[in-house]
A and B are shown apart, each in its own frame.
Chain A
Amino acid sequence: MVTASRGPRLVNGMPPPHPVVRAVKGLVLLLCCAVVVVPFVGVVSTSLADQQQITEAGGYVLWPSNPSLDAYAAIFRGGVVTRATLVSIGVTLVGSLLSVAVVALLAYSLSRPGSFGHRPILLVVLVTMLFNAGMIPNYLLIKQLGLIDSWWALILPPLVSAFQVIIVRAFFMEVPAEIVDAARIDGAGELQILTRIMLPLSKAVLAVVALFQAVAYWSAFFNAMLYLNSTDKWPLQLVLRTYVVDNAAIGTDLPGEVVPPQQSLQMAILVVSLVPILLVYPFLQKHFAKGVVIGAVKG
């Protein structure tokens, strides 16, 4: 590495760019960030604003002058949104926990070198990345299984995907064979090797798979739209669509006398759907980014 001892610091053999160039770059990036951040600030602010301010602003408030949590109190007093939130939490928890368990078992059974039939089974799993049977056949299958209007129709179809199996299997295969052999000599069976050695060593990757699935379950709305007929079984994303995207009136569906402004209620529902994602975001960002790169480089 050559660094100039005198004169301006060189970066990649070049003097730093002209201040005007740097200012323009900074401005462009600032603008990009504002385009992402401002809408979210507006959403949160409006959810906290009162009727007077919303009427003055014409609907959307950028900063609440009189913040209150009335809208949140109203949607969590029972009723549609409360129920939908509980449904979403339930589907997300059950789905992601089952998913990580089943994926870990399948990945482990395919990760032992020279085991019976692991190559054809792996192929069966991998080939599913290439095709999709289509919406109508999937719908008919759910119908034949009697899962229409059941939460299992949301949980089971996305439970195992080839991509997750590949990631976890790759991780299991990197565990040194000596550790496994030593355990085997000490009399450990497959189940013990899995629970005592593999799982503790792969906590990080399993957490990533679980979170990956949790975000997918939390955000999914199409399966619910396709398979759930009863509105009282709806998850949050469908309620969000009805009240916020399609603009259905909310007030009548909520118990209680004081009804906060429509706009605040809508934005409060939106915030409720955002909070879990924001809570896990730092972790997601760190590991998902890695996942994309691993997926692209290793395959």
Chain B
Amino acid sequence: MAPTELAATAAPAARGTPDAPPPAARRPRQASWRWRLRRDWFLLLLGLPGLLLVVLFHYVPLAGNVIAFKDYRPYLTVWEAPWVGFENFRVIYEGDPAFLNALTNTLVISLIQIVVVFPVPIALALLLNSLLSERVKRVVQSVLYLPHFMSWVVVVAVFQQLLGNAGLYNTWARAHDLPLLHLIGNADLFLPLITSQAIWKDAGWGTIIFLAAMSRVDLELYEAVAVDGGGRMRQLWHVTLPAIRSVIVLLLILKLGDVLTVGFEQIILQQAAVGQDASEVLDTYVYNRGIIDGNFGMAAAVGLVKGVVGLGLVLAANKIAHLFGERGLYSRW
């Protein structure tokens, strides 16, 4: 180790201790961590409650996944339950129809979210960005952000009141002899229903990140397009879209890393009305088999595989983000 490097590593820690000669390189370092511990114990104590909660509610449950390999019964503790190897994973490797149904539904809903739901905020942001009046823009934004803060219970309830059989539209349609809309509680239309709910709740909120990217565009670029004889479409294509490209790529990749997780609260609230064939996804499958049926081992096995695959997808998505030259995962909110 070169003396300059050593000095650089020791210096911030060894504040207040006299300069040690180079031959005794290890001793000041050791003394320094003890000295730092003695100096900082109270600081560590302040952080302790938060750290304990993080460990207790994020790391300790990881150990609970051992019941995926056990025959867990509610009257036994996790440690007493007998080992059963990969027995609980049978639904996965033998392809249990209910499990496959849940997997298919999850992937279909994820695909719809990427193809249909994802572009809506982009279009809305482009529209808002093209407005001339700042005031109109702000008012519209205030209105469109609002549903984001409603709980799923409220969103589902509002949709029922508007579109249910006794809801606003159908009552009105019945009075005027118009076709009725059987959207609520109809298994065939469950996908359009949850898609429209997702758009209603979060499309407005989703514009924020795109609007922020658009607001950083240098206005002279637009003028340059105009000077070169390009029209509004060229401004959109050559200036605005490139400005939000990196945000789009990033969000899309993160979405891809999350394909096994779809709106659990939203779906469990409406599952009774449409049945499990149409609405079972991996998360509701784990809930229904584990918490409701009491088959904890099997539910934990499915949850574990989902978690591991999910983690792999997140890390892979991050790798791809880096390949695209983006900053990746920690930009996530």
Contact = CB atoms under 8 A, between A and B. Distances in A.
A81 interface: no
Interface in A234-283: 237, 240-241, 244-246, 266-267, 270, 273-274, 277, 281
Nearest to B68: A136
A35 interface: yes
Interface residues of B, number: 111
- Give the 5 A-B CB pairs with smallest separation, nearest first: A13-B226, A106-B50, A109-B47, A137-B64, A58-B171
A135 B54 contact: no
B7 interface: no
Interface residues of A, number: 101
Contact of B50 (A25, A105, A133, A136): A105
A218 B39 CA distance: 41
A23 interface: no
B179 interface: no
Given A36-B144, A295-B333, A144 B78 contact: yes
Given A29-B127, A58-B171, A134 B154 contact: no
B37 interface: yes
B327 interface: yes
A20 interface: no
Contacts of B204: 32, 36
Interface stretch (B23-31, B93-101, B186-194, B295-303): B295-303
A29 B65 contact: no
Given A59-B161, A245-B156, 7 more contacts: A13-B225, A14-B232, A29-B140, A131-B311, A134-B307, A191-B46, A245-B160
A179 to B, nearest CB: 17
A190 interface: yes
Interface of A: 2, 10-14, 16-17, 22, 25, 28-29, 32-33, 35-37, 39-40, 42-43, 46, 57-60, 62, 102-103, 105-106, 108-110, 112-117, 121, 124-126, 128-141, 144, 156-157, 159-160, 162-163, 165, 189-191, 194, 215, 218-222, 225-226, 237, 240-241, 244-246, 266-267, 270, 273-274, 277, 281, 284-285, 289, 291-293, 295-297, 299
B234 to A, nearest CB: 10
A108 B46 CA distance: 8
Contacts of B13: 114
